[in-house]
């Protein structure tokens, strides 16, 4: 660990976070290996299949955990691929079992790794919120849309569950607001009898001059811009 720290000159908190993530990854790997070993040793086909199913599920949870680790390098990522991979892992771990469909309409987009990760954290929390709070009767549908709109990126997450406006935000919505602000963006959410919709709008940092290292003009997203972009979402259940 010390060698890693001196090579990369990471701040102290980041080294601790790296170490913590490393341990969680190791623990997932250890649990998967124990369950797989038990499966291999079992003489009962039903038990074997159940244990292999659990090992597979643990793999998917580990994938989600890995995808949500804070990036350590300043690189530019393919945000479309990143979100597709994250959504696939969330589907396979949280949603498939509950018969919740995740539909994606994600356009090609490149983002700095740190901004891509913030976007991923927001999308993750919104999907998990829909899965936890929207579908009292079981099955349902969640849509994730990502597109460019002029100088901005818009990301919408909608579900077709039922929702009353929350009396108070929990940690999840507070973290989403913080992450949205740190992206220089704006986050709006509405709840109604036909579901919840959430939209995040933030400045697009993928213009060639910005990728070449010039300072990004910190465009502020106006409330009006968020409303207009929200109207262009293909699924608005409320
Ligand atoms: N898609 C949704 N459908 C219905 N209700 C929702 C939805 N998303 C959020 N909520 C409501 O908003 C509340 C606040 O959400 P928030 O993510 O802040 O907290 P939480 O999910 O309850 O807990 P956590 O701190 O673990 O995220 C939820 O408790 C729920 O009542
Ligand atoms: Mg939550």
Same domain, 48 and 84: no
Q: How confident is the model at residue 158, as a pLDDT?
A: 96
Same domain, 154 and 173: yes
Same domain, 98 and 184: yes
Name the residue at shortest CA distance from atom 31 of ligand 1.
166
Residue span of the structural domain in which 231 resides = 76-238
CA of 194 to the centre of ligand 1 (A): 16
Same domain, 59 and 142: no
Q: How confident is the model at residue 5, as a pLDDT?
A: 42
Same domain, 125 and 218: yes
Q: How far is it, in rounded angstroms, from Cα 90 to Cα 237? A: 22
Same domain, 49 and 119: no
Domain end among 40, 70, 100: 70
* H-helix or E-strand spanning residue 28: helix 12-41
Q: How confident is the model at residue 235, as a pLDDT?
A: 43
Same domain, 114 and 230: yes
CA of 234 to the centre of ligand 2 (A): 24
Same domain, 49 and 5: yes
Name all residues whose Cβ lies below 6 A of ligand 1.
129-130, 132-134, 159, 161, 163, 166, 169-173, 191, 196
Tally of domains within the chain: 2
Q: How confident is the model at residue 224, as a pLDDT?
A: 55
Same domain, 40 and 149: no
Task: Return the CATH number at 175.
Answer: 3.30.565.10
- Our mutation pick for probing the ligand 1 site, out of 173, 191, 197, counting the most ligand atoms within 8 A of Cβ, is 173
Q: How confident is the model at residue 231, as a pLDDT?
A: 55
Q: How confident is the model at residue 217, as a pLDDT?
A: 47
> Which ligand 1 atom is at minimum distance from the Cα of 196?
1
Name the residue at shortest CA distance from atom 15 of ligand 1.
170
Note the ligand closest to the C-alpha atom of 159.
1
What are the φ and ψ backbone dihedral angles of 9, each rounded to 5 degrees?
Answer: 45, 50
Domain end among 39, 70, 101: 70
Q: How far is it, in rounded angstroms, from Cα 86 to Cα 118? A: 13
Q: How confident is the model at residue 124, as a pLDDT?
A: 97
Domain end among 70, 90, 114: 70
Same domain, 59 and 143: no
pLDDT along the chain (238 residues), means of 10: 46 84 95 97 96 96 92 89 96 93 96 95 97 88 94 95 77 95 94 92 72 48 55 44
Computed from CA positions of residues 198, 175, 113, 100, in that sequence, does the dihedral angle turn out positive or negative?
negative
Nearest to 159 by CA among 123, 113, 111, 213: 123
Same domain, 141 and 203: yes
Same domain, 228 and 191: yes
């Amino acid at each position: 660990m010390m060698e890693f720290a001196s090579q990369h000159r990471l701040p102290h908190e980041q080294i601790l976070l790296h170490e913590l993530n490393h341990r969680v990854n190791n623990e997932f790997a250890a649990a998967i290996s124990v369950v797989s070993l038990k499966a291999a040793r079992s003489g009962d086909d039903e038990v074997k299949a159940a244990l292999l199913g659990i090992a597979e599920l643990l793999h998917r949870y580990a994938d989600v955990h890995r995808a949500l680790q804070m990036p350590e390098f300043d690189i530019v990522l393919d945000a479309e691929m990143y979100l597709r991979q994250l959504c696939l892992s969330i589907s396979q771990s949280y949603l498939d079992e509950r018969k919740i469909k995740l539909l994606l309409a994600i356009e090609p987009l490149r983002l700095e790794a740190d901004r891509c990760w913030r976007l991923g954290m927001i999308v993750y929390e919104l999907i998990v919120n829909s899965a936890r709070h929207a579908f009292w009767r079981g099955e349902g549908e969640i849509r994730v849309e990502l597109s460019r709109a002029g100088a901005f990126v818009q990301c919408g997450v909608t579900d077709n569950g039922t929702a009353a406006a929350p009396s108070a935000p929990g940690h999840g919505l507070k973290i989403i607001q913080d992450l949205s602000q740190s992206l220089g963006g704006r986050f709006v959410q509405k709840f109604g009898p036909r579901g919840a919709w959430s939209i995040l709008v933030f400045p697009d940092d993928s213009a060639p001059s910005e990728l070449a290292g010039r300072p990004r003009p910190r465009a502020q997203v106006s409330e009006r811009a968020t409303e207009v972009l929200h109207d262009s979402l293909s699924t608005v259940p409320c």
